[in-house]
């Protein structure tokens, strides 16, 4: 049967991987935690180096959200090790998260990380996975555009607030142009609730209400 790329809302596929921290089973070894798997085109490249530094600078912030980071490219593990050493020696940044060595391309194929029109290297993909091993978001960036790690961290925080409170997050949360740091209340599903909801929350209309969390 032909493998298909995993989609949002599906379980992250079970894969044994070799990393700079040894063998890891995804997603089982991260059960009960959020994790972000992000792929990069290649070691010893400028944009990827800036991304690894940026992820590491925010690693403690991710860990505060019970979220781990995992890098990946189709380089061999010795290349990852030397590159991480180079970053430490030349940029004074210690990369503390594991990096998957997918030199056979097996993981890249399973996750849909190679896009033929963008070359043979992995694109800049991001999988955000929750503690139940469910994929909550997938992002793809071309090789020429580095990622915004603050946005990825914002997404993790937003998912956690949404899950805990049964709400949705507005654009640019927590700095939305209409409701600030407040969140969106799910719209009512019947006429009675539609009449009552405006008495409980601040609303622009019955289908557009917001509240603090």
80-127 tens-digit pLDDT: 999 999 999 999 999 999 999 998 888 888 998 876 666 567 788 999
pLDDT confidence bin for 142, thresholds 50/70/90: confident
Active-site option among 48, 67, 203, 209: 48
> Can you name the CATH fold of 15-147?
Glutaredoxin (3.40.30)
Contact by Cβ (8 Å): 16, 25: yes
CATH architecture of 166-213: 2-Layer Sandwich (3.30)
- d(CA 69, CA 153) in angstroms, rounded, equals 11
67 is catalytic: no
Measured at the CA of 184, the angle between CA 183 and CA 189, to 5 degrees, comes to 155
User: What are 28-62's pLDDT values in tens digits?
Assistant: 999 999 999 999 989 999 999 999 999 999 999 99
- d(CA 6, CA 15) in angstroms, rounded, equals 13
pTM for this model (two decimals): 0.93
Where in the chain are all domains bearing CATH 3.40.30.10?
15-147
């Amino acid at each position: 049967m032909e493998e298909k790329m995993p989609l949002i809302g599906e379980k992250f596929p079970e894969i044994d991987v070799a990393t700079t921290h040894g063998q890891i089973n995804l997603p089982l070894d991260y059960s009960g935690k959020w994790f972000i798997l992000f792929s990069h085109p290649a070691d010893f490249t400028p944009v990827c180096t800036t991304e690894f530094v940026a992820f590491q600078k925010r690693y403690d912030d991710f860990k505060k959200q019970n979220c781990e980071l995992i890098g990946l490219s189709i380089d061999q593990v010795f290349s990852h090790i030397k590159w991480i050493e180079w970053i430490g020696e030349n940029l004074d940044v210690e990369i503390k998260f594991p990096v998957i060595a997918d030199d056979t391309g097996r993981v890249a194929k399973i996750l849909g990380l190679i896009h033929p029109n963008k070359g043979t290297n992995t694109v800049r993909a991001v999988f955000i996975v929750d503690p139940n091993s469910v994929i909550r978001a997938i992002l793809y960036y071309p090789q020429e555009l580095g990622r915004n790690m603050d946005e990825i961290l914002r997404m993790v925080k937003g998912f956690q607030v949404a899950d805990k409170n049964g709400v949705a997050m507005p654009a640019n949360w927590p700095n939305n142009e209409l409701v600030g740091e407040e969140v969106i209340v799910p719209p009512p599903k019947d006429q009675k609730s539609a009449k009552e909801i405006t008495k409980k929350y601040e609303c622009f209309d019955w289908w557009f209400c917001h509240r603090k969390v």
